[in-house]
Structure 1
Amino acid sequence: MDKNKIAAQMYSVRKELEQDPENTFRSLKEIGFEAVQLDGMRGHQATEIKELVSKYDFKIAGMHIKHERFFSDLDGIISESLLFNCKTIYDKYIDDKEQHTEGYIKTKKQLITTQATLGKIGFRIGLHCPEYDFNNTVEGRTILDYITDPVFGTGIYAEPDTYWISVAGKDPLEEFEKFSGRAPIVHLKDYIKGFSPDDMDSNLTELGNGDVDFKSIIEWGEKSGVEYYCIEQDYSKIGIFNSLAKSFDHLMSL
């Protein structure tokens, strides 16, 4: 596995970033990460985070942007993206109040419009989904399928997630295969079968400790245009940097 293609999702270290940005980036570098995926500034100025990204020589493996900003702050999104020299941006999570058919249709329309507009200057707009977007449907399509279905040749990129697909009771590889060439960045976290879907304390674990077949996911990704495999750990029982190190080492072993 090429270590340059492994990224850390900064949501994993959201508390650490808020408290001590420099130590956070230093610790990720010490683990071996060469890339990070941004998930907000956690109370800091974007310029401060940019300085640390540059100091520790990280590549930016996409940026997660709050849902409402796609409707109210496109100029701000553009400025932030250009600051970090990253034009691959994701709607990180469709707001709860928009989790219904009308909201999904509205979201798709806005993301398609944004892609059609910003795509002219090299942007890629995508969507990241929690578990219910792999079960809920609009017009007979699951949410990620529906929103990423092209409209007159313009499509939204997918950011499928092994854990949330598993929580939804589906096979990660089968879901990932839908998005060949349309998922430049994918999220990897492991899942232990046999627990309640909402029991994250028990069913979420480091890569290699659970039931997800990451070897098959990587084999698919290497022939399907994946640029970054992004490790996300929502929380840890052993210390978040220990968790990220275990997951990083597992990917490197494949």
Structure 2
Amino acid sequence: MAKVALHLAMLRDYAQKDILGTIKRAGEMGYPAVEFTGYFGAKVSEIQKVLTECGLEAIASHYSINWQDLKNMGKELAREIDYAQQLGIPRIITPWAPLQENPDIDDVNHLISIIEKAALQVNAAGLQFGYHNHVSDLILVNGRTVLDYLMQRIPRELLFLELDLGWVYMAGKSPDELIRTYSGRVPLIHFRDLGRQRKDTEIGNGIVGFDRAFKEAASAGVEYYIVTQEQFGASPIESAELSLLYFKNRGLA
């Protein structure tokens, strides 16, 4: 059965001030795993100590490619790889790409070339490389989505998909259908729910609906359900607790 994890970017305001305390708080809430987005100057040994004390698994780290300075991508990515290796994180994920509002096939080819280059470097280091989708990745270019091009042109052994169900819904697509389409290549799923005016809300309090997604995930090889949220009615901590409760009530955490 898939495990539930917390995307630490959800607690970014806390993490920037105290990443070690934020990790500890995730464990105290009852999350068994976390996904990183930056380490905020903390030493590997410090993070390892907190993870061990809290019994937390570090499943992945988001690494934002500097799209304005691609010539230095290899050096920057090497530093991220080194940190992940020391910490025992098995996956590095690029969380976004600056696609134009109406991308053409040249934009798609450029994206693929950069993602493939990064994927080759990460895989050569013995880690897995993933891509996290946004609405823009589901725009049609010559009758196919950008995401389709990316997943079909880059081999599965080099690239997996971290599917964000909230952005899938925002793009007018069906979350369960996308999970089925990329079955075997979606070890991680971002659970994002949408409330009033399609702003982020706690999992289960919005309009996305996850029942069919859970059914597809069970046969698609999904390993982690990752809670994520960027807009809050109360505090990020309270939202993280409420979303975890949703999974607990379903017997999934």
How far, CA to CA, are the matches of 1:81 and 1:103 in structure 2? 30
Match of 2:240 in 1: 244
Where do residues 89-238 of structure 1 align in structure 2 (5 Å cutoff)?
89-95=92-98, 100-101=103-104, 102-135=106-139, 137-151=140-154, 155-192=158-195, 195=197, 200=199, 204-238=200-234
Task: Give the Cα separation in 1 of the matches to 2:16 and 2:5.
Answer: 19
- Provide closer, same or farther for how the CA distance between residues 152 and 173 of structure 1 changes in structure 2, counting only shifts above 3 A: closer
- Aligned equivalents of 2:225, 2:166: Cα separation in 1: 13
Output the CA distance in 2 between the equivalents of 1:103 and 1:56. 44
**1:86 lines up with 2:84 in the alignment:** no
Quote how far apart the aligned CAs of 1:156 are: 2.0
- Hey, what does 2:52 align to over in structure 1? 54
Distance 1:99 1:20, change over 3 A: farther
Letter of the structure 2 residue corresponding to residue 244 of structure 1: A
Q: For residues 151 and 205 of structure 1, do their structure 2 counterparts lie closer, same or farther at Cα, with a shift above 3 Å needed?
A: closer
Percentage of pairs with the same residue: 24
Q: CA RMSD in A?
A: 2.6
Classify 1:27/1:231 alpha carbon distance in 2 versus 1 (closer, same or farther; 3 Å): same
Q: Quick one: distance in 2 between partners of 1:210 and 1:65?
A: 28
Aligned counterpart, 1:29 = 27
Q: Which residue of 1 aligns with 2:69?
A: none
The aligned counterpart of 1:8 is 6
Q: Is the Cα–Cα contact under 8 Å of residues 98 and 104 in structure 1 kept in the other structure?
A: no
Provide the secondary structure at the position in 2 that maps to 1:160.
Answer: strand
Q: Distance in 2 between matches of 1:121 and 1:60?
A: 18
Closer, same or farther in 2 for the Cα pair 1:99/1:251, shift >3 Å?
Answer: farther
Measure how far apart 1:37 and its partner are.
Answer: 0.5
Alpha-carbon separation, structure 1, partners of 2:101 and 2:75: 15
Change (3 A) 1:179 1:24: same
Whole-angstrom CA distance in 2 between matches of 1:22 and 1:152: 36
Equivalent of residue 40 in structure 2, options 17, 39, 42:
42
Equivalent pair of 1:133/1:144 in contact (CA under 8 Å): yes
CA displacement 1:76-132 (0-9 Å, x = unmatched): 122022022122111111146899444442231232234345435532211112212
Residues 154/108 of structure 1: CA separation in 2 closer, same or farther (3 Å cut): farther
Give, in angstroms, the shift of residue 237 of structure 1.
Answer: 1.4
Q: What CA distance in whole angstroms lies between the structure 1 residues aligned with 2:29 and 2:36? A: 17
Q: Distance in 1 between matches of 2:224 and 2:172?
A: 25
| C-alpha distance in 2 between matches for 1:165 and 1:216 | 14
Q: How far apart, CA to CA, are the structure 2 residues paired with 1:33 and 1:152? A: 32
Structure 1 length normalisation: TM-score? 0.84
Q: Which runs of 5+ in 2 are unaligned?
A: 67-71
Conserved 8 A contact 1:231-1:244 = yes
What residue ranges of structure 1 are gaps of 5+ in the alignment? Answer: none
Which amino acid is 1:13 matched to? L
**Partner Cα distance (1:153, 1:214) in 2:** 26
Q: How many angstroms apart in 1 are the aligned matches of 2:185 and 2:156?
A: 13
| Residue 139 (structure 1) shift | 4.6
Q: Give TM-score scaled by structure 2 length.
A: 0.85
Aligned residue for 1:229, secondary structure, equals strand
